[in-house]
Amino acid sequence: MVYHFLFSTVLCRMDPERAHTLAFRAISLAGRVPVLNGIVQGALAPYLQREGVQVFGRRVPGVFGLAGGFDKNAEAVRGLTMLGFGFIEIGTVTARAQPGNDKPRAWREVELGGLRNRMGFNNDGAEAVAERLRSLRSTVAGRAVFVGANIGKSKVTPAEEAAADYATSASLLAPLADYLVVNVSSPNTPGLRDLQAVDSLRPILVAAREAADRATEAAGRPRTPLLVKIAPDLADPDIDAVADLVLELGLDGVVAVNTTIQHDLGEGGLSGRPLLDRGIDVVRRLRGRLGPVPVIIGAGGIFDVRDAQAYLDAGANLVQGYTGLIYEGPLWARRINRGLAR
């Protein structure tokens, strides 16, 4: 109730990106305060440590995690874990640092429970993000956090050089991440979604897989799972084709779904409540096509325990969200993970 009042009276009157920056800084700072971190982790431990799920041969502390896009540069992983997320997906990270698209580039769609953005993969680049993850992993607590890395194509990289671009990011981040996600489904980088076509996608996934394997072998670390993230706007036959490619290449799974451009609200991809039904349908279709082994991370429109459970019932192994954090506040992830644990 307190957060909803604050959201409706204060945050809604702020520019969305400005509000995000202020909240992000507070979360990041909280994660650096040892006493506060210990208190919160102690409160979360009874359900995050008792429950969890086995994925990729490892125990993930909680089924519900944070989707890529909130912490683009791995700057607030500890603070976000304090909020009750079972895992954190950082990024999207590109091989080259880039500022993203011109502002304004984020809009709330309050009546829909949605968020529309055209951020354009603004991030510090794979080398800088890798250094932050290396620092995180240098501590016992940092090594315990389950972190995925979402990678995308640099805007300046031509489509014909996309495979090498993804390979660069994969080689830098694979030894430091618990899983990698190849993002070819954001609508905010020109031409990126065209790479979801199987003929274009295959060399990207092969290059990312090979680069990740070389990097982890050189570092003496286990193989890092590789997934691909797809858009909700793909036609069902194209979803089947991506699933078949995942099986053909022996990849570890799929993240479904990204934002949608099937709206008339203006530029950018739409996330939040409008994605729920389509996201669940895509997950159900993927599970039927992939069979029981590949991991599916369901995302899109999750606001409460029932939404998350619907994804799990459709065949997802893990679920994640982002927009709900904006509308529901800092206790959101904790409520969902506790509800799922019960």
Active site residues: 186
Tokens representing 132 are 């932050």
DSSP sequence for 166-220: HHHHHHHHGGG-SEEEEE---TTSTTGGGGGSHHHHHHHHHHHHHHHHHHHHHHT
183 in a labelled binding site: yes
1 in a labelled binding site: no
14 in a labelled binding site: no
**Cis previous bond, 139, omega within 30:** no
122 in a labelled binding site: no
Tokens representing 56 are 């990729």
260 in a labelled binding site: no
322 in a labelled binding site: yes
Q: Which of 87, 72, 257 is nearest to 178 (CA)?
A: 87
Tokens representing 291 are 């069979």
Tokens representing 103 are 């502002």
166 in a labelled binding site: no
What is the pairing mode between strands 226-230 and 179-183? parallel
73 in a labelled binding site: no
Count helices and strands (H / E) in the chain.
13, 13
114 in a labelled binding site: no
Q: Within a 13 Å sphere around the CA of 50, how many CA atoms are in the beta-carbon half?
A: 11
Q: Kindly provide the b/e burial profile for residues 326-338, where b requires at least 16 CB atoms within 10 angstroms of the residue's own CB.
A: bbbbbebbbebbb
121 in a labelled binding site: yes
Binding annotation for FMN? 92, 150, 183, 229, 257, 272, 301, 322-323
Binding annotation? 72, 92, 117-121, 150, 183, 188, 229, 257-259, 272, 301, 322-323
Binding annotation for substrate? 72, 117-121, 183, 188, 258-259
